[in-house]
Amino acid sequence: MRILFVTSEAYPLIKTGGLGDISYTLPNALRQLGVDIRLLLPGYPAVLEQLSLIEVHENIRLPPLQEPIRILTGIMPGEITPVYVIECPSLYERDGGPYQDSNGKDWSDNALRFGILSQVAALFGSHHLLFKPQIVHCNDWQTGLVPAFLTFNPNQSARTMMSIHNMAYQGIFPPEVVESFGLPPESFSISGLEYYGKVSFIKAGLYYSDWITTVSPTYAKNIQTPTYGCGLEGLLTIRQAQLTGILNGIDTEVWNPDTDPLINHNYNTKSLLLKSRNTQELRKKLGLTSSTQTPVIGMIARLIEQKGIDLVLPIIPDMMKSGAQLVVLGSGDKKFEEALQQLAKYYPQQISVTIGYNEELAHQIEAGANMFLMPSKFEPCGLNQMYSMYYGTIPIVRRTGGLADTVIDATPNNIQAKIATGFIFEKENADELLFCIRRALRTFRDKTTWRQLQMTGMNRDFSWQESAKQYVSLYHSILN
């Protein structure tokens, strides 16, 4: 089985969120099942710097790009997965992030940058290059044009799978994109990639791919409704026979409290008491008062509406009164960053806010916090709630998407049945969230029950084993 996995980010080379994690862990898990899966990535500076690369193809001309591109190849750090990298300095070699400049503004030439990524993937998929995949596995809007390019290519030789990690980002661009990439005019229609007079990269992927997946079973259902479908619920409902939700796994080597080199004290289910030392270290590092009665609530997220920050902000004073400390790590909307920083100034001994991206602190929060807050409005899968359960850090989540599929609410029945792993609330409402947090704070005082929640979460299997097998069987059914 030969698969090309096309992605706009991959840990540890370049990561802005969960897609980066998945682009590392899923291909690894698939290789262990004997799949010859290889990555295709844009040649951002961070990618070129971290890999030893050799040239495999030169002088490839892809309209509308003026300059020729090169394709380089190497091996993912510490792994066995081969990676192809597109070298094109004018598109990818610049300071800033993969999608935005350093001020958080989308790059104005993103249509070209990710159109070219998709065109190169389509070259692989029409067997013009050395590696000849049977399936091109696309991820999110950045790769949405691949199925369109292949559909209109008489030499198409690979099938396509489109994985949705987030419906809210769609890649909407002016209609001229169609002609500039040489796509036929008929593709610009409601039965195609047109979306309210513009080109939608994600719609192209959803419309032209052989199969669609998303990253949890509940999100697969969610996106067929107007609330979560972001305008494409109709198309997704039409295609529901080719839409599968497969839950993401986590990398239990990178995220393992027993071996994690980034935390101060390693621990496992047999030495769970050592977790409290991580809590003390975290408090010390962030300047919070030390106390054994007050739990630390952690939050690591892109600070955007999706993550429910606006539900958290108004109830922070009540959380503080109820006796909790809050540790936030993240970056995103300036208004959320500033509001959080204000509150941290007001409660210096109880709240710590770190704006930025910090892998080490993220691990230390997972190890040190007692609870983890993820009140997302929508969540395709979510990884931090799984990292949290694996670290004995009890998640407080809203019942949506992958959060609903991974956390089991601590109701009296579930506690009695010894299956509870966290606290869930239903509605997008700050009072409901506060009520849920108070339920968690009360349970925290009952040491026996708390320990049971921790043990149940730590013993759950969040690895890729089962999910990777589901991808393999989908690949087979697409080819048949």
Find the binder of ligand GLC among 7, 224, 248, 456 (CB under 6 A): 248
Instruction: Map 35-92 to HEC letters.
Output: CEEEEEEECCHHHHHHCCCEEEEEEECCCCCCCCEEEEEEECCCCCCEEEEEECHHHH
Peptide bond into 64 cis (omega under 30): yes
Residue 439: DSSP 8-state: H
**Residue 253 found at the interface with ligand ADP (CB under 6 A):** no
468's contact among ligand GLC, ligand ADP, none, with CB below 5 to 8 A by partner kind, is none
- When the beta carbons of 71 and 381 are compared against ligand ADP, the nearer one is 381
409's contact among ligand GLC, ligand ADP, none, with CB below 5 to 8 A by partner kind, is none
**Residue 215 found at the interface with ligand GLC (CB under 6 A):** yes
Closest C-alpha among 271, 320, 330 to residue 296: 320
Find the binder of ligand ADP among 171, 245, 330, 457 (CB under 6 A): 330
- In the block, residue with structure tokens 């682009």: 23
- When the beta carbons of 177 and 232 are compared against ligand GLC, the nearer one is 232
**Residue 19 found at the interface with ligand GLC (CB under 6 A):** yes
Find the binder of ligand ADP among 147, 245, 295, 382 (CB under 6 A): 382
How many Cα atoms within 13 Å fall on the side-chain side of residue 288? Answer: 28
**Residue 331 found at the interface with ligand GLC (CB under 6 A):** no
- Could you say which residues in the range 373-432 bind ligand GLC, by CB under 6 A? 379-383, 402
- When the beta carbons of 205 and 402 are compared against ligand ADP, the nearer one is 402
161: three-class secondary structure by DSSP: strand
Closest C-alpha among 156, 74, 76, 94 to residue 121: 156
Q: Is 18 left (phi over 0), alpha (psi -120 to 50) or beta?
A: alpha
Q: Which stretch binds ligand GLC (CB under 6 A): 16-24, 180-188, 352-360, 410-418?
A: 16-24
Peptide bond into 261 cis (omega under 30): no
Q: C-beta of 141: minimal distance to ligand ADP in Å?
A: 14
302's contact among ligand ADP, ligand GLC, none, with CB below 5 to 8 A by partner kind, is ligand ADP
215's contact among ligand GLC, ligand ADP, none, with CB below 5 to 8 A by partner kind, is ligand GLC
Cβ neighbours of residue 283 closer than 8 Å, sequence gap 6 or more? 289, 290, 296, 325, 368
Closest C-alpha among 35, 50, 41 to residue 23: 41
Closest C-alpha among 145, 212, 206, 213 to residue 173: 145
Q: Is residue 158 within 8 Å of 152, Cβ to Cβ?
A: no
Q: Which stretch binds ligand ADP (CB under 6 A): 17-25, 64-72, 199-207, 442-450?
A: 17-25
Q: C-beta of 441: minimal distance to ligand ADP in Å?
A: 24
Find the binder of ligand ADP among 2, 302, 399, 460 (CB under 6 A): 302
Q: CB burial class (10 A; 0-12, 13-18, 19+) of residue 318?
A: middle
Q: C-beta of 301: minimal distance to ligand ADP in Å?
A: 6
Residues that bind ligand GLC (CB under 6 A): 17-19, 22, 165-166, 215, 248, 379-383, 402
Residues that bind ligand ADP (CB under 6 A): 17-18, 21, 300-302, 329-331, 357-359, 362, 381-384
